[in-house]
Amino acid sequence: ESRLWGEWFRVFNQAGSDTVLSQTVTPPGPANFMHNDLNNDEYKRAEVNGYYQANIVRDFTITYNPSYPGLQQNAFPVNVNLNDNCNAYYDYESINFFTSGGGCPNTGFSTIIHHEYGHHLVAMAGSGQGEYGEGMGDVMGVLILDDPGLAYGFFSDCDSPLRNADNDIQYPCSGEIHYCGQLISGCVWETRNELVITNPSDYTDIISNLAVNAMLLHTGSSIDPSITIDYLVLDDDNGNIYDGTPHYQEIATGFGEHNMDAPPLALLGFEFPNGLPEIIS
């Protein structure tokens, strides 16, 4: 038999029994199972999406940091088809998704799942949630799909995202946390756009590596220019961000577009191994 239980995630259908497929085969098999083969049942679709997309975002993270804390936990719960609408949530023990209704689809899909697992990544890194957690949740979906829009179709319009990293939100942001979370997703997206120009073959790896590992340097729940420095520190190759980093200009431009300015460079330096020279008159 086959159910949506794997090494890293277990999916629980809150609207009824979990889907379990079974068949009889002649040993040694193989036995091939197709979950959601008809693709006409939102509950079954949400189960498959929950399992598949949770593995996608976990795999994405360990690609850029195989030792990322907390990701060796087995059977992390993915609860789908909860009896509510138009939302999803992370509660530090599971990620949770609602059924369709109220003008919204079933929330167990792609970037919503990436977003909620992003909250888990933030928690495992030791940060608070707030605007930072919302923003980094969005960043996970943005980077995995390489698209600035989060949750196209959330309000039934498949051409419109719920939130957008292609924005001009400025630091400091004093709005609602989901809105202000777009400040960091905007910085990441603008940096990505700069890297597309200078590093067209590996821009995705560069920005994804920075974004994943920057979570481990962050504390608290705020989005402020200290994050810009975190990205530069991760990008640096000689222990001195003030003489530039391999992608200083891209990071400075991307974050600067949102008033998250990078520190200026100090390109001239003087060393006096034998002490300061004396003036002889």
Answer yes or no: are the C-beta atoms of 216 and 230 closer than 8 Å: no
The reported pLDDT for the residue numbered 268 is 65
The reported pLDDT for the residue numbered 226 is 99
Rounded to an integer, what is the distance from CA 13 to the centroid of its chain? 25
The reported pLDDT for the residue numbered 1 is 85
The reported pLDDT for the residue numbered 180 is 99
The reported pLDDT for the residue numbered 270 is 61
Using CA atoms, how far apart are residues 143 and 205, in angstroms rounded to an integer? 9
The reported pLDDT for the residue numbered 276 is 72
Domains along the chain? Answer: 2-256 (1.10.390)
Pairing of the two strands 76-82 and 88-90: unpaired
Using CA atoms, how far apart are residues 18 and 41, in angstroms rounded to an integer? 13
The reported pLDDT for the residue numbered 274 is 74
Bridge partners, 163 (sequence order):
150
The reported pLDDT for the residue numbered 67 is 98
| pLDDT tens per residue across span 216-261 | 999 999 999 999 999 999 999 999 999 999 999 999 999 999 999 9
* pTM for this predicted structure: 0.93
Residues of the chain with pLDDT under 70: 268-272, 279-281
Angle at 113 between CA 167 and CA 158, to 5 degrees: 55
Using CA atoms, how far apart are residues 233 and 243, in angstroms rounded to an integer? 12
| pLDDT tens per residue across span 124-148 | 999 999 999 999 999 999 999 999 9
